[in-house]
Amino acid sequence: MQKTNNYKSFKIFFKNVPFRSYPDCKNGKGSGLKAKLAKKIPIEREKFLGIKCLHGKKIIGQISVNSVIGGMRGLPLLFCETSSLDKNKGIYYRGKLLKDVCAKLPRVQEGTQEGTPEGCFFLLTSGSMPTKKEAQEVTNEWLKRGSVPRYCLRMIDSMDKRVHPMAQLCAASACLNPQSQFVEAYTKGARRADYWKYSYEDSMNLIAMLPTVAAAIYSNVFRDGEGSREVNYEEDWSGNFCRMLGLPEKDFVDLMRLYMILHADHESGNVSAHACHLVGTALSDPFLSFSASMCGLAGPLHGLANQEVLVWLTKLRKAIGDDPSDEELKKFIDDTLKGGQVIPGYGHAVLRDTDPRFVLQNEFAMKHCKDDPGVKLVTRLWKIIPEVLKKLNKVANPYPNVDAHSGVLLQHYCLKELKFYTVLFGVSRALGVLSQLIWSRALGAPIERPKSFSSIEICKFINEADKKAGKKNNKKKC
Amino acid sequence: MSLYRISARKLSEAQKLPNVGAYVRMIAADGKSLRDVLAAKVPQEQERVKNFRKQHGATKMGETTIDMMYGGMRGIKALVTETSVLDADEGIRFRGLSIPECQKVLPAADGGTEPLPEGLFWLLLTGEVPTKSQVQQLSREWAERAALPQHVVTMLNNMPTTLHPMSQFAAAVTALNHDSKFAKAYSDGVHKSKYWEYVYEDSMDLIAKLPVVAATIYCNTYRGGKGSRSIDSSLDWSANFVKMLGYDNAPFTELMRLYLTIHSDHEGGNVSAHTVHLVGSALSDPYLSFAAGLNGLAGPLHGLANQEVLVWLRKLQKEAGNNPSEEQLKEYIWKTLKSGQVVPGYGHAVLRKTDPRYTCQREFALKHLPEDETFQLVSKIYKVVPPILTETGKVKNPWPNVDAHSGVLLQYYGMKEMNYYTVLFGVSRALGVLASLVWDRALGLPIERPKSFSTDLLVKMVQK
């Protein structure tokens, strides 16, 4: 069933077929990003193979029964070139702290205060911080590719408005797959070394179309179909998106740029990134891989967290008003904990300090809307909740994560429909998962196929291991 | 202490399980429904897994190396899956039963000889072999749950026929999420210990509707929209499916029963099953989890393999004729290998002998279409290819897998649209992945979240 994909054949292939430069796009000068990738990929392949030769056999982790039943938590099983998560400092994009990324990304549009997601995608994909010109080129490229095929819009329009927006996003992504250049190339027998080029084209096309798809869903579900679906070539990706949502305010567009950057990538072990990678290793095209990714993001444990924060804050404000005293806040927090619930927006599976994404959103809030009641409340809670959680002595991380802030900011700018927030997350996450996908194809990541066992089989395995150990320990048998 | 003794006794009983017969018990009470059997079994299994973890949680299962990380976790023992286990030499076992054993003990339809997939689903879910009346009851229940909501029908009818059937399939399943009982129960705050009940309900609804969705796609894409979507409650799941597809052919219905049974599960590490498990671990409902799995199944390395076999066979027939000699075959096969291609339908990531799924299809063909020209060609290839692959010295498994045969059988009965075959695979795979998903929630398996590292970080780690 699976094609042979061993290291030797890959090496032979690589040596025998020296890398050739590819022709530019039809319309003149090629995309700066693609050219940069084409230059970088052979270098990274060589490095990749070198690591395998030198260190392939080295052990980097142990697998226990608990880790198998516990969802592989913490097991080092995946590689991810685009980002890495440090438990104290938070996420790094291509080796750069998030606050440095946000500070250094070029402000492309006149008068804007945030870097662009286009520049962020350039960074994640190429590994280099883009110049203003390079970031602008990505914007131009996405504008050119942004038109959604009519049949897809018709399909979105034919969906029942009660279908969850995330389900609609998954369906729409899957339905875009006739556009796939990867499928076309694969069918024609393209060389494996070139797969990344077609994944790149599909990824660029998909990202370019996502704002229109998402806005069409939003408009259908929440605004009776009103709103534009046409790309305005004078605006960037975020500007077009906000206008299509019917929220063209300049500060909101800046928030959207920031939001898209902050949610873009978070290693490849989270459910949405992992699903995209896993499906992609079967050589499904980027449209289907992204659709699978969004099915995962729709899961309440993964993508609904900022909504849960808002629900909790709404209950809080209803119970004790917009401007409660510290004592009232503490009591509400204690009541939540005693009710067996967690405080939504606080804690994280990996992080052990305040999530830098929270900090960056807070800085945005202090600059643009510090008088908003919701924002004020979030800032005050940030002072109180960690102290309360620390006293419990059983919380690994008492600090806020990204979800503690993102919903409040969206509310301030009148994007109030909670069900749509995960779609925003999904549009942003596309930047990370698709850049990872391009690199998986570039490095020839083989099909992902771990071994599974039933618990009965695991018992057998343990019994055999015990026999081999010669009953050193008097362990109980299964 | 007495509780501990009881648990120890159960574990002691589990220790005897290598005896295959012990895996499966015949049901004494004939009248129990699938839901009842499951509800009785879930607390027992929860207790067993809990005690197992307490005693052996820290036991080492293996190690991970950098090669394994870069190699797609190949062989890494990282997943627990109760419904089936894949042995490299013996092939797949569904709850301990091999395919021949399943064919022997699972109930067949009246007048048929192949096992009904309904019975296999019961087995996968409960670990027990159902009676014939229990299987019939399940058929009726699926028939009752089969109707599609109008908005999904509308959506399917709005899809262009140029859209790949698998994309249509994934999109339609996604849209069915609107009726998810799990998603509703979750948002209503249901207790974690009851998650499995809602996953069960969604899974039953979804499996019931899949043939209708799949047949609608087939008729829209290949038959100009003609054909019926109505379910006949006196027919079983496969018979209804074949009827809706527009085929009136008893042996084809038998083939469909066999096909849907043998493609249903192949442990938990394959891309579609793993994707369903992964997405489901974030508590996405069964519809979204299954849709994600379908996107993986659409990948050419996973779900398109039987099409690649057919394409290759056609090229062979065009070049060497419909009835080539063994010498001509050998020549063509060597040519394929020397051009850097693999022989499609041969080899497998885990299996190291002839795939039992291939074998049972071969037996079906010997019984129903022994004179068919293409079948005879496949048979001849089966004779010629393994020695050649063995001779190359670099193939771990020279034997055929399921894909070497499945397309040929479908072609024989007139279903020639190759792009549609993965949809059939998807309908079948639902039985395994959804049964497994019910158990994931029953056992409270947490979100799957392995750690990832960049190459630079790995270098730092190993150089310490």
What type of residue sits at position A429?
Answer: R
Instruction: Check for a shared fold between B139-302+418-443 and B304-413.
Output: no
Question: What angle (nearest 5°) sits at the alpha carbon of residue A186, between those of residues B356 and A297?
Answer: 80
Q: Which residues of A touch B66 (CB under 8 A)?
A: 51-52, 55-58, 60
A6, pLDDT greater than 50 = no
Q: Which of A180-189, A466-475, B301-310, B387-396 has the highest mean pLDDT?
A: A180-189
Q: For residues B23 and A399, what is the distance between their CA atoms, to the nearest angstrom?
A: 48
Q: Which of residues 321-350 of B touch A (CB under 8 A)?
A: 342, 347-350
Q: For residues B389 and A370, what is the distance between their CA atoms, to the nearest angstrom?
A: 71
A212, pLDDT greater than 90 = yes
> Does A451 sit within 8 Å of B350, measured CB to CB?
yes
Residue range(s) of every CATH 1.10.580.10 domain in chain A: 117-300+424-442
Q: Report the length, in residues, of chain B.
A: 464
Residue range(s) of every CATH 1.10.230.10 domain in chain A: 305-418
**Superfamily for domain range A305-418:** Cytochrome P450-Terp, domain 2 (1.10.230.10)
More confident of the two residues A228 and B258: B258
> Does B350 sit within 8 Å of A450, measured CB to CB?
no
Q: Which of residues 1-60 of B touch A (CB under 8 A)?
A: 8, 11-12, 14-15, 17-18, 23, 48-49, 52-53, 55-60
Please state the domain extents for chain B.
Answer: 139-302+418-443, 304-413
The token pair at A407 is: 């919903």
pLDDT tens column, B189-228? 888 788 999 999 999 999 999 999 999 999 999 989 878 7
Q: Who among A80, A163, A293 is closest to B452 (CB)?
A: A80
Q: Report the length, in residues, of chain A.
A: 478
Q: Which CATH architecture has domain B139-302+418-443?
A: Orthogonal Bundle (1.10)
Q: Which CATH architecture has domain A117-300+424-442?
A: Orthogonal Bundle (1.10)
pLDDT tens column, B46-104? 877 878 777 778 877 787 787 777 788 867 778 888 899 888 887 988 989 999 999 98
Going by pLDDT thresholds of 50, 70 and 90, the confidence category of residue B27 is very low
The token pair at A390 is: 């620390």
Catalytic residues of B: 302, 348, 403
Number of cross-chain residue pairs from A and B with Cβ atoms under 8 Å apart: 442
- pLDDT on residue A3: 37
Question: What angle (nearest 5°) sits at the alpha carbon of residue B49, between those of residues B48 and B55?
Answer: 90
CA distance A248 to chain B (A): 30
Mean pLDDT of the B175-194 span? 89
**SS3 letters for B86-116?**
EECCCEEEECCEEHHHHHHHCCECCCCCCEC
At B61 the three-state DSSP class reads strand
**SS3 letters for chain A?**
CCCCCCHHHHHHHHHHCCCCCCCCCCCCCCCHHHHHHHHHHHHHHHHHHHHHHHHCCCEEEEEEHHHHHCCCCCCEEEECCCEEEECCCEEEECCEEHHHHHHHCCCCCCCCCCCCHHHHHHHHHHCCCCCHHHHHHHHHHHHHCCCCCHHHHHHHHHCCCCCCHHHHHHHHHHHCHHHCHHHHHHHCCCCHHHHHHHHHHHHHHHHHHHHHHHHHHHHHHHCCCCCCCCCCCCCCHHHHHHHHHCCCCHHHHHHHHHHHHHCCCCCCCCHHHHHHHHHHHCCCCHHHHHHHHHHHHCCCCCCCHHHHHHHHHHHHHHHHCCCCCHHHHHHHHHHHHHCCCCCCCECCCCCCCCCHHHHHHHHHHHHHCCCCHHHHHHHHHHHHHHHHHHHHCCCCCCCECCHHHHHHHHHHCCCCCHHHHHHHHHHHHHHHHHHHHHHHHHCCCCCCCCEEECHHHHHHHHHHHHHHCCCCCCCCCC
Q: Which of residues 130-169 of B touch A (CB under 8 A)?
A: 149, 151, 154-155, 158-160, 162-164, 166-168
Question: What angle (nearest 5°) sits at the alpha carbon of residue B359, between those of residues B356 and B361?
Answer: 115
Q: For residues A113 and A364, what is the distance between their CA atoms, to the nearest angstrom?
A: 10
Topology adopted by domain B304-413: Cytochrome p450-Terp; domain 2 (1.10.230)
Closest CA to A415 of A222, A134, A277: A222
Chain B, nearest residue to A459 by Cα: B15
pLDDT tens column, A434-473? 999 999 998 888 888 787 878 777 777 677 777 767 654 5
Residue A403 appears among annotated catalytic residues: yes
Residue A371 appears among annotated catalytic residues: no
Q: Which residues of B touch A292 (CB under 8 A)?
A: 275, 279, 291-293, 295-296
pLDDT tens column, B329-370? 888 998 888 888 788 899 887 888 799 999 999 989 998 999
Q: For residues B17 and B15, what is the distance between their CA atoms, to the nearest angstrom?
A: 5
